[in-house]
Structure 1
């Protein structure tokens, strides 16, 4: 049931419908970087989170100081710390220890954090459910959840975690990858210039990139060690029966993880795999979904979205968000290394990444400036035009047509 709901929101046709959201949110992100370049992480997070709240709940996040935005990333970061702790690893390896009760400060802290996360997710869901029942909801994921809840009778807590998991997955993963992209631009300035030359050749300097340059985006995302780490999800799967692989016996119930980092840096498959060389993907015009669906695993360009039947269902949406984010950031800005108090460049360490369910570069400084007055002027003009589509509360005056779940809206109003 849950996978069916996710499919309704994230299949290829639904993903195309979200392009107006991605277009508007990316323009606000660019303007935010013009005004506050030192807060690039916050503006990237708002971009991905606002897109996701529109898809899941039907409202947008208007600024980087929004309390809902800050609370989400607080919970994500704290949970990453908890799950990367030695105590969590011990409980994972020896589940019998979980029956000992809240004997450690770490477990008490996790229980407190769980209550905060429950309140966040359930609060989002109950607000969305109220709008659905009243017939005031915009087209969104929660309309389908409400319909299924009415038919199947599952709890509001489960509904809150279905919608909350979608919120978390859509907000954090894409933001982490864009964060890694910024770091890659500092580490590989020559690649930055090559990519920008290609953007200028195709787009010129008088318009923002649109969704027709997917091949450029694909190469940018996959050749970068800082970004490659972001695909190294620690999500464990379990085999449902005894299995064997390359002479190894895998007993029923054993946990199995895809070692994405090892696959992406396999020297037998890639020449100098740690080098950021987007040209290695020249001629590969597959989308991430097409690549993941390829029956020949040697022709898969990356495993950042997982593999098999549990492939990330948000692939179509994420790929478009990454393309617009990367292409427009490259078109509008120069990314240079920050300078410390002694005048020396601050060079980020690509291997200095966070631990946990997802890995991303640890915070680093960057000097981000507009490429020129003309680029800055176009960014501001584009955002000013986009703002005409918004009400005074920075929500859409009228939701663009073609959104998923439109057909369900009339059947989920007041009974």
Structure 2
């Protein structure tokens, strides 16, 4: 006989199916409007079984090629709309941001693990706005500029260690990003990258990416399972454990800074700014701790992931690396490394950064926006509660389909924001010229200002755009400029470099691959070494 636990769980599952089937009936469509087309799906479950459990954006792109730049999915009665052009995404998610800036409250990630504290997953409302105000104060352009000495310091250490231990590039990029943001957030320093507090925060980052991924937990598909008692619901026990871990971590880091403030020994950081004006921000200790922790989540993984994709691009497109070498040598010369003052004179560096983010977006599938009120766009009706996915990707689904076809068969896959061939001609190619030459639709001038990544779709849309964008832009520009000046990246002889072999989750990066990284010249290697050994004793934020 089946166990009582399985019987009760099955009853809850069946009840959930019936409830969701009844609530999944199509709403009344306003006169003159229509619902978007999309794959037909199956009874009750809709398109649930049609969506791959990992890298779902690849399937989204294939559907967009069939059904157009806006298509609808039905997942257990829940309405999802996928948009695949930047124009449409901006018109909905930015221009109508008062309607399209909420989040679906998925039980596992938003409710059980985050307990309505994580800004990334909060619904659009007062608590989210108060947290966003704190984020803006901490990351606005004038504040981001004041953090540049720390980014210079950590980039010097990164280059020095990369040239000594190039095979550890993953850990070193992660250490750079983690060191910058943990110093900014909590005034704590990183030396090795193995410090327990850094590893714990990075563990939380990876956990959020896993838990919040679509389809990761059955309760997100069948919310009625929330009514199961904890002894029947292992996901509840797991969520409680994860929440306790991250809350203890975030509060411990905040309270450590508070103790230093009380002793008059706290260097300025995100947490001191919050504590100084906590009443003005209107956030509790737990709420503020999660806002600052979220800034770490936003900054640590994305910067490292983008730099890994930069290395991949340089392996596949060595001619562009040659062009980078020429630009930085012309502007900077051979006697010093590039600085932030050089960035306006390095348009190709900025173009490479932007093209990396387009070619291999970190948030390939994005986090969907939830519509809070019925809306009609271009004759299409979207009911309140619709989840809108801005699909930025992709390439590898097309390549998978091409396997087995004889040469000469041509398949065109154009429908994804960063693969829109009208905006990005020849979108599969890594081509920084699209940001630098007037014949491309993405060209803007003057070139001492453009290209830049302000409001770029790689960082999201509208009121939910990544709050750490200003800090990330400065890191990426400096790192690419300095790596181009000091190093040469190339394929390792006899070792294949994959075209696309990325991790899954809503933040993605290349899985580790082998390549060679060497100093361009002995003299530049000596300058890197001298600069780091001379500068490592200084406090990069002293007096800030």
After TM superposition, the score normalised by the length of structure 2 is: 0.65
Partner of 2:253: 124
User: Which residue of 462, 466, 478 maps to 1:324?
Assistant: 478
What aligned pairs does 1:4-403 form with structure 2 within 5 A after superposition?
4-84=133-213, 86-88=215-217, 90-102=218-230, 103=232, 105=234, 108-150=237-279, 154-211=283-340, 212-214=342-344, 215-224=347-356, 228-232=360-364, 234-261=366-393, 262-282=416-436, 284=444, 285=447, 286=449, 291-292=454-455, 302-339=456-493, 344-350=494-500, 352-390=501-539, 399-401=541-543, 403=544
CA contact (8 A) 2:354 2:452 kept: no
Per mean C-alpha deviation after superposition, the further-off stretch among 136-145 and 223-232 is 223-232
User: Secondary structure at the residue paired with 1:347?
Assistant: coil
Structure 1 pair 291–115 and aligned structure 2 pair: CA distance change class (3 A):
closer
Q: For 1:348 and 1:338, locate their aligned partners in 2 and report how far apart those are by CA, in whole Å.
A: 12
Structure 1 pair 99–181 and aligned structure 2 pair: CA distance change class (3 A):
farther
Q: CA deviation at 1:218?
A: 2.4
Q: What is the CA RMSD across the aligned residues, in angstroms? A: 2.4
User: Secondary structure at the residue paired with 1:257?
Assistant: strand
Q: For 2:285 and 2:454, locate their aligned partners in 1 and report how far apart those are by CA, in whole Å.
A: 37
* Structure with more helix by fraction: 1
Structure 1 pair 210–225 and aligned structure 2 pair: CA distance change class (3 A):
closer
User: Secondary structure at the residue paired with 2:514?
Assistant: coil
Q: CA deviation at 1:363?
A: 1.8
Per mean C-alpha deviation after superposition, the further-off stretch among 44-53 and 154-163 is 154-163
Q: For 1:34 and 1:3, locate their aligned partners in 2 and report how far apart those are by CA, in whole Å.
A: 39
Q: For 1:321 and 1:378, locate their aligned partners in 2 and report how far apart those are by CA, in whole Å.
A: 20
Q: CA deviation at 1:251?
A: 1.4
Deviations 1:56-110 (A, max 9, x none): 112221222222222222232233233337343x433443333334545555444
Aligned pairs, how many?
380
Structure 1 pair 250–68 and aligned structure 2 pair: CA distance change class (3 A):
same
Q: CA deviation at 1:243?
A: 0.9
User: Secondary structure at the residue paired with 1:269?
Assistant: coil
After TM superposition, the score normalised by the length of structure 1 is: 0.84
CA contact (8 A) 2:210 2:216 kept: no
Partner of 1:298: none
Structure 1 pair 238–86 and aligned structure 2 pair: CA distance change class (3 A):
closer
Per mean C-alpha deviation after superposition, the further-off stretch among 157-166 and 370-379 is 157-166
Q: CA deviation at 1:331?
A: 1.4
User: Secondary structure at the residue paired with 1:229?
Assistant: coil
CA contact (8 A) 1:353 1:361 kept: yes
CA contact (8 A) 1:181 1:227 kept: no
CA contact (8 A) 2:366 2:392 kept: no
Q: CA deviation at 1:221?
A: 1.9
CA contact (8 A) 1:334 1:370 kept: yes
Deviations 1:116-175 (A, max 9, x none): 222322221111222223221111111222134356774432222111111121211111
CA contact (8 A) 2:177 2:299 kept: yes
User: Secondary structure at the residue paired with 1:368?
Assistant: strand
Q: For 1:254 and 1:200, locate their aligned partners in 2 and report how far apart those are by CA, in whole Å.
A: 51
Per mean C-alpha deviation after superposition, the further-off stretch among 37-46 and 304-313 is 304-313
Task: Name structure 2 gaps, 5 residues minimum.
Answer: 1-129, 394-415, 438-443
Q: CA deviation at 1:186?
A: 1.3
Task: Name structure 1 gaps, 5 residues minimum.
Answer: 293-301, 391-395, 404-415
